[in-house]
Structure 1
Amino acid sequence: MKKIVLALIIALGVFSSSFITKQSQARELLDKVAVIVDQGVILESEITVLMEGVKSNALTSGQTLPSDAALRRQAIERLILENLQAQMAEKMGIQVSDPQLDQTIENIAAQQNIDMQTFRRELAKEGLPYEEYREQIRKELISGEVRRANVRRRVYITQQEIDTLMSLMNEQGAEQAEYRLSHILIDIGSDATEEEITEARDRAERILGLLDTGSDFARLAIGASSGAKALEGGDMGWMNINSMPTLFAEAVEGKKKNQTIGPIRSGAGFHILQIADTRGVEIVEVEEVNARHILIPPSIILSDAKAESMLSEFREQLIAGEADFAELAKEHSEDPGSALRGGELGWNDPSVYVPEFKDALATLTKDEYSQPIRTVHGWHLIQLIDRRVDDATDKRKEDRAYQLIFNRKFQEETDAWLREMRDQAYIEVLDENA
């Protein structure tokens, strides 16, 4: 039945027209379906756009790339995962409204200290139409919410794990060096034979040999890695040793910049790491905030405008002294974690909140109410209770230990969840040699 439905998709709606280049004088070509992904499809144009983006970034940074065939395989894998997450978002009813999307982009521009007009011009200089960039951000927000919703419940942390890490942090010092890791994964299937495992190990050893003779790590990662950051040349970014996967932490501890490590065996396959850089961590005081909020998400029976209007009315009542914030939160807030506490969120580093919420807090003075703000969770009315400078108490250390463990486990579970979703999906590449 699935194949019949997919055949109808191909027959009824998958062709559109696009233009090659100015030199072709707008000669029209038909787009085509390149990959079937469950109930969705990936078009040839999507693969082309992603490959051209990677090539453009590589040209800007002076990075060499593998063959087009290898780059195409990586692009297809990236688009498959994005497509599956988009389908899941649709099933879960996750959406990002235009006002929320516009606010997010304005925040991005503000972080770069430029206005929206300048921001649009900068995008145009890079050859990226604003509407295309806007939809990319929408997809990223939706994918992030899908991952959070599906992966967060898979993360379980015991008090013993927290206590153990706190003891280790106390022994080593609360702050430690950070590593910027580059990563290549030669994957093996869950039901791989001994012969396939041996073949994967040999591939990993050959890659190590190429690295030892001066081959470019990023180029090899793009061409051969099955890791989530393959198209970024395997760059995993900066990580504290306690926030990276345990397997990696044990491998890199005590190693120096530019050292290559591997192959390291895990359930996913054979890993090769390179320490691209290291840096110390400055000891800084962190300002924490205590706030409370009322959350009203739009629904089938409650429009976006009505949710915003309700919170505006609550704000007027609070300012006039006609209502109590805690009582309003208990009665109306849809945040189960804080509603029973009168909306109070407790002391937190503002960075734990979504960008719109964090930015709103930054503008408030003690006891002040925000205007209603929109995030991926819905509409919020926020009151800042107080601010304080973190003094690195035991509670702070415990929170930090918990967050480090959570970040590590969340990344590990995200990778596992994506692999499971990929394995369970119906995938058909229609033209492997295209």
Structure 2
Amino acid sequence: MKTILSLKSLLVVALLSIGALSPSLSHSAEQEVDRVAAIVNSTVVLESEVQDMIKNVKAQAKAKSQTLPSDTAIRVQVMDKLINEALILELGDRMGVQISDAQLDETILNLAKSNNMSLEQFRQIIVNDGMSYEAYRESVRNELVLGEVRRASVRRRIYISPQEVANLLETMKQQTSQNEEYNIGHILIEFPPEPKQADLDAAKKRADKVIELLNNGSEFRKIAIASSGDANALDGGSIGWKTINELPTLFAEVIDGKKKGEVFGPIRTGLGFSIVKILDVRGREVVEVEEVKARHILIKPTIILSEAKAEEMLQGFLDQIAAGEADFAELAKEHSEGPTSVRGGDLGWSDPNKYDPAFRDTLASLDIDEYSKPFRSSFGWHITQLTGRRMLDATAQMNENKAYQMLYNRKFGMESARWIKETRDEAYIEIFDQE
């Protein structure tokens, strides 16, 4: 949950510091009658809030052996923070931002886990420090609201163009390519020193045949030994691990950024036609995702059709398919409910994590072409057949997402500062002098 992660460092440090929670949580035994330190639109900032936050700042600095500026400088910063928070919380009320008790409980539970504590241990530490647990919960709720309002308000101000993403991706590629190494296989189909057109045509024809064999799954090493005129022929054509800058320029331009297993050529050089295969790549972050292909028949129980009857119907379909008396696709077209029935129940290729958990787990247990037994999901009763699995390279999408997020983070800080300044400029703020 993103909200939890954005607050974790703040709240954990606050918990482990002496009295370092929101200002409303610390109370001295003797407290003077409170007064208003500032008016922020229709909200007031109390002097007790200011003093408590100043004490908390000093306590945290002392715990970390840090030095602080003058009390006057600290007060200015504390007032700014409390005014900003008052404005954002007021805006949150107008926007209708609410944090449910369930979301709040999940946040606090994750904070406890991050400190290797149970919820009860976490709560006891708060109580032992003389703090009200309910007040602590509300301080966390306020922090969650602050985060939600800030993100929602700033997000709409940020625009990232496709060209910005492309430019950053190119920069990232140049930086990471220096660490990448390629294990390259090379086959050279030679022609004579002063070739005639017939020599060139014959060499080109042989090179095309080699590429055809490789693309059809023939072993590179075996073909290199049999056909290559390169000095590395007896090594199976391997020229070893090289960075992109260590490779011949002609090869580097062709393979830069390409994937393991790809074959390139024929590339004409002064010696003949070169065929290059990327045998392996290292130093590159690769992300693969699994997709599955499946089809299913869905029967939804009703008042008339009981759960047991729906399960029995599907088992009957399986028995007919096993006996060769019926075809899965035809049964799906006739009996299955849902949009896939017209396609014979075909779900196409998909990330299994997008499916209902029961459906996902059932597919995970099947071999290719295997049928499942009838099972229940949140949609109803199913039988399914797994018809394929494949691994897709999601590295490009991951890198694009990473570039977008980097640009977003860069702009978020600047736009957040502009947003809060504009919000303050439009607000009524009156700060009262200390007595």
More relative contact order, 1 or 2 (CA 8 Å, 6+ apart): 1
Larger Rg: 2
After TM superposition, the score normalised by the length of structure 1 is 0.46
